[in-house]
A = this chain, B = another copy of it.
Amino acid sequence: MAQNLAIPSRLCLAPGPSPVPFRVRQAMANPVIGHLDPAFLAIVDAVQQDLRDVFGTANRVTLPVSGTGSAGMEMSLTNFVEPGDTVVVIRQGVFGQRMAEAAEKLGAQVVAVDIPWGQICSLEELSRVLAAHPQVRLVAVVMAETSTGVYQPLDGWAERIHAAGALFLVDTVTALGGIPVEVDRQGFDIVFSGTQKCLSAPPGLAPFTVNERALERLSRRQHPVPSWYLDLLQIREYWGNARLYHHTAPISMIYGLKEALTIIQEEGLTARYRRHRQVAESLWAGLEAMGLELMVPRTHRLTTVTTVKIPDGIEDRVVRQRLLNEAGIEIAGGLGQWAGKIWRIGVMGEGADISHMMRLLVELRRILHDLGMPLPSGVEALEAQYVAWERESSEWRAG
* B10/A68 in contact, CB under 8 A: no
Given A19-B32, A34-B12, also A204-B203 (CB < 8 A): no
Q: How far is the CA of A3 from the CA of B256 in the complex (A)?
A: 11
- Contact A30/B23 with A68-B248, A229-B70, A253-B250 known, Cβ cut-off 8 Å: no
Does A262 touch B at the CB level, under 8 Å? yes
* Interface locus among A100-108, A286-294, A361-369: A100-108
A231 proximity list for chain B (CB < 8 A): 105
Known: A78-B227, A204-B204, A226-B105. A2 touches B26 (CB 8 A): yes
CA A335 to CA B36, docked complex, whole Å? 13
In the complex, A8 has a CB within 8 A of chain B: yes
Q: How far is the CA of A175 from the CA of B33 in the complex (A)?
A: 20
Please report the C-alpha to C-alpha distance between residue A200 and residue B276 in the assembled complex, in whole angstroms: 39
A74 engages B228 (CB within 8 Å): yes
> What B residues does A256 contact at CB under 8 A?
252
A30→B8 contact, CB < 8 A: no
> Chain A 1-43 against B: per-residue CB contact (8 Å), 1 yes, 0 no?
1111111111010101101100101111111111101110001
If A17-B248, A25-B252, A226-B106 touch, does A202 touch B32 (CB 8 Å cutoff)? yes
The one of B9, B17, B39, B46 in contact with A32, judged by C-beta atoms closer than 8 angstroms, is B17
Whether, in the assembled complex, A304 has its beta carbon less than 8 Å from a beta carbon of chain B, the answer is no
A67 interface residue, CB < 8 Å from B? yes
Which residues of B have CB within 8 Å of A77? Answer: 228
| Interface magnitude class on chain A | 35 or more
Contact of A228 among B3, B35, B37, B101 (CB under 8 A): B101
Task: Confirm or deny: A247 has a beta carbon within 8 angstroms of a beta carbon on chain B.
Answer: yes
The chain B residue sitting closest to A17, CB to CB, is B32
Residue of B nearest to A107 (CB): B226
Q: Determine whether A73 belongs to the interface, using a CB cutoff of 8 Å to chain B.
A: yes
| A66 lies within 8 A of chain B by Cβ | yes
Residues of B within 8 A of A171 (CB): none
Q: How far is the CA of A107 from the CA of B227 in the complex (A)?
A: 11
CB pair A251–B17 under 8 Å, yes or no, is yes
Q: How far is the CA of A224 from the CA of B9 in the complex (A)?
A: 41
24 pairs of residues in contact across A and B, judged by CB atoms under 8 Å: A10-B33, A10-B37, A12-B34, A14-B34, A17-B34, A20-B32, A20-B252, A25-B30, A32-B196, A35-B203, A38-B324, A66-B67, A66-B71, A68-B250, A69-B247, A71-B247, A74-B229, A101-B228, A105-B225, A105-B227, A106-B226, A202-B253, A204-B253, A226-B226
